[in-house]
């Protein structure tokens, strides 16, 4: 089921509601860039798990209206609004890659509604003390965040060009990305179904503009506006040790700063290894 939810300030949020309507609700927060059509288990898997999976385009992506100047913590109001519109009281949240910090915001700021939270291949806050934020990060991502320190206009110009290139040739863009991946990720992305999904995901997310991508990068480059140390919701942190997009030390730092967090670092896995563990993570979220 697909639809639109209106926020209190009149913005549209494009929502995809999958799996059994009687299942345990889980919000899935997509990566950067991405959309509601991002990586997710098949319908039959959701029915087997008894999971009702709710995904939506973050502001500025796909069919969701932009929220200029949004921060990581702003996602919380949108998640709560969608849950209200769907008649859902309490729910779990999983975020992958760029969605992971947003999932942690739900753990910190919606403790009365979030049952469990999983953050897969997450970044740490840009101002994380004691963390070399760029160490182990691929050059293209380093450039994005260096541009963010220069200003929004610089990020808009560079990501705008990259967005046009992706839209002009989604298959070619996925192939180019694949050629730069660690071997474990190349094996995962070699699957034709995953390639098709990634092409559709990126094309939908960037269909109208690069605004969502720009706003994500800017949000990750500033403070998250919530205290990780006050999280009481059970949190699972998963990371592939060979990740080049969000280096594994980010998750290790998060694990040291989120009380009681369960940390899983998988040797020989990388960024897209999160797709392989998603079903197991959903089982943990609804346990």
Structure token pair of residue 160: 């705008």
- Report CA-CA distances (Å) from 19 to 23, 44, 51: 7, 8, 6
pLDDT confidence of 1, banded at 50, 70, 90? confident
Domains of the chain: which residue ranges? 2-285
pLDDT confidence of 2, banded at 50, 70, 90? confident
Question: Which pLDDT does position 81 carry in this prediction?
Answer: 98
Q: What is the pLDDT of residues 115-125, one digit of tens each?
A: 999 999 999 99
Q: What pTM, to 2 d.p., does this model score?
A: 0.97
Name the burial class of residue 197, with classes exposed (0-12), middle (13-18) and buried (19+) by CB atoms within 10 angstroms of its CB: middle
CATH class of 2-285: alpha beta
Q: Which residues pair with 52 in a beta bridge?
A: 25
Report the C-alpha dihedral over residues 13, 111, 236, 223, rounded to 10 degrees. Answer: 70
Question: Which pLDDT does position 214 carry in this prediction?
Answer: 98
Q: Which residue has the tokens 């969605």?
A: 99
Q: Which residue has the tokens 């949108």?
A: 78
């Amino acid at each position: 089921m697909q639809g639109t939810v209106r926020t209190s300030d009149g913005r549209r949020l494009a929502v995809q509601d999958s799996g059994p309507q009687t299942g345990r609700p889980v919000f899935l927060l997509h990566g950067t860039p991405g959309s509601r059509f991002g990586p997710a288990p098949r319908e039959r898997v959701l029915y087997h798990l008894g999971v009702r999976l709710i995904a939506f385009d973050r502001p500025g992506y796909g069919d969701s209206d932009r929220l200029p100047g949004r921060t990581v913590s702003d996602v919380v109001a949108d998640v709560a609004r969608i849950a209200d519109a769907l008649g859902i009281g309490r729910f779990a949240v999983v975020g992958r890659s760029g969605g992971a910090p947003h999932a942690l915001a739900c753990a910190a700021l919606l403790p009365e509604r979030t049952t469990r939270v999983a953050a897969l291949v997450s970044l740490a806050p840009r101002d994380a003390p004691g963390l070399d934020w760029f160490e182990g990060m691929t050059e293209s991502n380093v450039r994005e965040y260096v541009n963010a320190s220069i200003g929004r206009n610089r990020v808009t110009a560079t990501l705008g060009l990259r967005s046009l290139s992706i839209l002009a040739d989604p298959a070619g863009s996925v192939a180019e990305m694949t050629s730069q991946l660690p071997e474990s990720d190349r094996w995962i992305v070699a699957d034709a179904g995953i390639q098709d999904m990634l092409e559709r995901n990126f094309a939908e997310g960037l269909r109208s503009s690069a605004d969502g991508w720009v706003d994500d990068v800017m949000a990750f480059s500033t403070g998250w506006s919530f205290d990780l140390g006050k999280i009481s919701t059970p949190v699972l942190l998963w990371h592939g040790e060979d990740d080049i997009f969000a280096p594994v030390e980010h998750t290790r730092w998060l694990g040291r700063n989120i009380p009681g967090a369960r940390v899983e670092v998988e040797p020989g896995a990388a960024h897209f290894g999160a797709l392989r563990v998603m079903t197991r993570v959903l089982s943990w979220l609804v346990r």
